C-alpha cells in the first residue's frame, strides 16, 4: 500500500497514441466507471462486461467504443470525445490507458484495473502493432497538442524485442510508452488496491471463471442482475462471441485504425510465450519482475487472483 492515503496526480503522459491531459476538462459524475488497463490486457473484454451489466442486454444501439469512449486516444479531438460523454444518459463506463498517477482521482468513481501476465500481453501487443494501418499515425499526430513522436518500429527478432520491452519497464526515458508498460501501469493501481472504489481484475481469472468474475464486477459496481439473465450475459462476453462481432466491438473501429478489425481479437490465449521466449528472455523477465515489483504483485500479475490463492 502506498504511504499516501489516496492517489494524487503528479505525472503527465504524452505518447504517440494518447495524451493524459485530455482528462483535464472531464466532468465526472458520481457513478462513473473508469476501466483502466495497460494495452492488450483485457480492456475491450472489460468494457463488454460493463456494457452487458449496465444495459442488461446483449445487443447495443451503438458500437462498443461509442458506448465506452477512450478519452486519452488521439483519433479524434478531446472536445469531441468529452461532448460525447456529456451527452450520455446511461451510467458511463470510460476507457483509459493512463496510469493512476496521471488521473485526477475521484473517490466517488469506480476504478477497474485489469492486469495480465506480461509475457502474454507482449505477444498480443505484437499482433496489435502489426495490425495498425500506417495512415493511422497521421490521424494521431493531427490531434496531438504536445510534442509528438512516432512509435519505434517493431524489432524483427521477437526475442530481442521482448528483451528491450521488459528491460524498459519503469523507464524514465523520453518516448517511453507507459500504456504498454504492464508492470508500471498495474503497480500504479496496486498501491491503492485496498481502497473500496478500486477493483483489481486479472485476464487469467476472466478466462478461468468468466461467470464468477462477472458477478464479482457486478457486486463491485452495485449492479443487480436477475438470475435468469446471467447465462445469456456470460455467453455474450465470451471471446468467441466477441471475435464474431469485431465490427461492433473492436476499439476505434470507425476511425480507420486497423487493417483488419477481426484481427484485433486474435487468439485470446495464454501461455503462448513458452514456444517463443528462451532461457535468456525468461531469466531477464524474472529479474525485472523481482527488482521492480513487490512479491505479492509479481505473483498476482503472473497468475491472477484465483491461481494465486
Residue reference for cell 508500471: 184
pLDDT at 118 over 60: yes
Residues composing the chain: 309
What is the rounded CA–CA span in Å between residue 280 and residue 60? 46
Query: Which segment of 13-17, 229-233, 289-293 scores lowest on mean pLDDT?
Result: 13-17
Cell numbers for 111: 476504478
What is the rounded CA–CA span in Å between residue 12 and residue 44? 24
What is the rounded CA–CA span in Å between residue 23 and residue 109? 14
* 8 A C-beta contact, residue 17 and residue 140: yes
67-115 pLDDT, tens digit each? 999 999 999 999 999 999 999 999 999 999 999 999 999 999 999 999 9
Residue 53 confidence (pLDDT): 98
Picking from 266, 256, 255, the residue whose alpha carbon sits closest to that of residue 133 is 256
In a domain, 7, yes or no: no
pLDDT at 265 over 70: no
Residue 149 confidence (pLDDT): 87
pLDDT at 268 over 70: no
Label the pairing between strands 14-15 and 18-19. Answer: antiparallel
What is the rounded CA–CA span in Å between residue 102 and residue 97? 10
Rounded to an integer, the average pLDDT of 6-17 is: 94
In a domain, 28, yes or no: yes
Cell numbers for 257: 485504425
Residue reference for cell 524498459: 168
Q: Which of 55-64, 241-250, 251-260 has the highest mean pLDDT?
A: 55-64
* Residue 176, number of CB atoms within 10 A of its CB: 15
pLDDT at 246 over 80: no
What is the rounded CA–CA span in Å between residue 143 and residue 145? 6
Q: How does the average pLDDT of the chain come out, rounded?
A: 91
Outline where 88-175 has alpha helix (H). 118-130, 136-142, 158-167
What is the rounded CA–CA span in Å between residue 84 and residue 146? 23
Helix, coil or strand: residue 70: strand
pLDDT category of residue 212 using cuts at 50, 70 and 90: very high
pLDDT at 42 over 70: yes
Picking from 184, 147, 153, the residue whose alpha carbon sits closest to that of residue 15 is 147
- The pLDDT > 90 percentage for the chain reads 74
Residue 137 confidence (pLDDT): 85
In a domain, 122, yes or no: yes
Exposure b/e, 108-131, CB count within 10 A at least 16 = b? ebbbbbbbbbbbbbbbbbbebeeb
* Residue 35, number of CB atoms within 10 A of its CB: 25
pLDDT category of residue 260 using cuts at 50, 70 and 90: low
Number of domains in the chain: 1
Rounded to an integer, the average pLDDT of 155-168 is: 93
In a domain, 270, yes or no: yes
In a domain, 130, yes or no: yes
* Residue 49, number of CB atoms within 10 A of its CB: 26
* 8 A C-beta contact, residue 81 and residue 253: no
Residue 189 confidence (pLDDT): 98
pLDDT at 254 over 60: no
107 CB burial (10 A radius; 0-12, 13-18, 19+): exposed
- The pLDDT > 70 percentage for the chain reads 91
In a domain, 78, yes or no: yes
Q: What is the CATH number of the domain that holds 45?
A: 3.40.50.300
In a domain, 22, yes or no: yes
Residue 77 confidence (pLDDT): 93
Q: How far is CA 144 from the centre of its chain?
A: 21
Q: How far is CA 179 from the centre of its chain?
A: 8
In a domain, 9, yes or no: no
281-300 pLDDT, tens digit each? 999 999 999 999 999 999 99
Domain extent for 220: 14-308
Amino acid at each position: 500500500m502506498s504511504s499516501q492515503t489516496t492517489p494524487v496526480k503528479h505525472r503527465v503522459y504524452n505518447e504517440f497514441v494518447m495524451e493524459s491531459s485530455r482528462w483535464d476538462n472531464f466532468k465526472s459524475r458520481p457513478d462513473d466507471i473508469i476501466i483502466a488497463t495497460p494495452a492488450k490486457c483485457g480492456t475491450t473484454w472489460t468494457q463488454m462486461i460493463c456494457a452487458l451489466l449496465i444495459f442488461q442486454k446483449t445487443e447495443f444501439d451503438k458500437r462498443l467504443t461509442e458506448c465506452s469512449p477512450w478519452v486519452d486516444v488521439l483519433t479524434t479531438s478531446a472536445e469531441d470525445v468529452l461532448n460525447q460523454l456529456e451527452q450520455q444518459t446511461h451510467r458511463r463506463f470510460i476507457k483509459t490507458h493512463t496510469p493512476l498517477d496521471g488521473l485526477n482521482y475521484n473517490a466517488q468513481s469506480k476504478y477497474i484495473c485489469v492486469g495480465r501476465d506480461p509475457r502474454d500481453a507482449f505477444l498480443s501487443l505484437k499482433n496489435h502493432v502489426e495490425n495498425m494501418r500506417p495512415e493511422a499515425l497521421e490521424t494521431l499526430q493531427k490531434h496531438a497538442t504536445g510534442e509528438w513522436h512516432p512509435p519505434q518500429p517493431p524489432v524483427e527478432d521477437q526475442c530481442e524485442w521482448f528483451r528491450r520491452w521488459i528491460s524498459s519497464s519503469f523507464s524514465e526515458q523520453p518516448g517511453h510508452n507507459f500504456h504498454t508498460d504492464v508492470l508500471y501501469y498495474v503497480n500504479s493501481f496496486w498501491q491503492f488496491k485496498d481502497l473500496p472504489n478500486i477493483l483489481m481484475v486479472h485476464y487469467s481469472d476472466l478466462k478461468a471463471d468468466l461467470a464468477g468474475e462477472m458477478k464479482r464486477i457486478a457486486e463491485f459496481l452495485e449492479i443487480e442482475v436477475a438470475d435468469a439473465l446471467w447465462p445469456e450475459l456470460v455467453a455474450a462476453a465470451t471471446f468467441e462471441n466477441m471475435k464474431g462481432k469485431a465490427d461492433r466491438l473492436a476499439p476505434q473501429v470507425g476511425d480507420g485504425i486497423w487493417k483488419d478489425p477481426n484481427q484485433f481479437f486474435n487468439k485470446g490465449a495464454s501461455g503462448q510465450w513458452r514456444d517463443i521466449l528462451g532461457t535468456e528472455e525468461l531469466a531477464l523477465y524474472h529479474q525485472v519482475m523481482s527488482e521492480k515489483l513487490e512479491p505479492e504483485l509479481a505473483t498476482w500479475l503472473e497468475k491472477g487472483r484465483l491461481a494465486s490463492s
